[in-house]
Structure 1
């Protein structure tokens, strides 16, 4: 009985490991697509390439590779999750800043909508310097100093930053 139970448990553990590996692989492909600015629909193309290589090099692994989801909706979700994770990390770092500075740049996109980029550079108590894109805000209508200030205030509030630490 012990041997039968162990075999059943091994089956579940093995399947769980295969599923986790497929999800990790999907995230890695999403990260590559996002960092290279490629469309999310390229995930399907990448999968076709992977399966073609697997068919020639390691046909026994083809089925495992076929289980990796690289569809456009999946790639979109994965990139959004990666972005959310990066923003959470920024929030965590920002809460530890002893001092920080902001830099902004405003330009128009192809649809002539003003885009405000807000960058933050902060220093922690251990003198670790972090520099990140804090926010990208669309400015509808006017782009006066007041409009920009409102967006900066919202960004500071979102990140939980105190004005007293702004240098």
Structure 2
């Protein structure tokens, strides 16, 4: 009989090692608070070897189990958190700006406003900066508003992207529905052109129904009943 494969041993970080060897866990990695080096395997021997070889001075300057040592560890953890925020804050800011840009573009499209009105919305917010006079981070708020991408082309790209997502969602619903029916209706726009509206009603396996606009077709020829015979 063949030998059974050996199971890989899992090492877990012990909270006491933070006090003993100045290590902590960052994104599932064992990180040294002093030099910010990471140890691949969170094993006591590896942490102790690293600490004594590179940071043995901390053992004497900050005696074990002393309040001075605990305070130093808190300071190092605060510095590490601040360094992480330097990288994560711009990413979160960029995501918030992009989300706001999509929301404004959606409202412009919903209200049938010109795409160029996006710049007016941005200017409108900047003119209301007096609302933020009592805020300590007024300059940050103003900077975020100025970063809003609301040019005519940006609004157009946002609307096209949302439209593509809606089409993809509709196609997925059609593919997974149990049955559906199609209904047509005719309307006339302001240019006196007949528009054929096609609606689809879908029923899913859990008996939930959903109705969506499938498409709109312009009928520029005659639309009398006799013309369709």
TM-score normalised by length of structure 1: 0.74
Q: Which has the higher helix share?
A: 1
* CA RMSD, Structure 1 to Structure 2 (Å): 2.7
SS across alignment from 1:33: helix
Q: Give aligned pairs, total.
A: 147
Distance in structure 2 (CA, Å) of the matches to 1:40 and 1:72? 5
- Bigger Rg over Cα: 2
Contact 1:116 1:136 in 2 (8 A): yes
Ranges in structure 2 where 5+ consecutive residues have no aligned partner: 1-34, 37-75
SS across alignment from 1:50: helix
Whether 1:132 aligns to 2:212 is yes
Deviations 1:59-87 (A, max 9, x none): 32101111011112111111121111111
SS across alignment from 2:215: strand
Shift of 1:140: 4.4
1:37 aligns with one of 82, 95, 112: 112
SS across alignment from 2:178: strand
1:106-121 matches, within 5 Å, as: 106-121=186-201
1:98 aligns with one of 172, 178, 194: 178
1:47-86 matches, within 5 Å, as: 47-57=122-132, 58=135, 59-60=138-139, 61-86=141-166
SS across alignment from 1:23: helix
Structure with bigger RCO (C-alpha 8 Å, 6+ apart): 1
Distance in structure 1 (CA, Å) of the matches to 2:206 and 2:112? 34
Shift of 1:99: 1.5
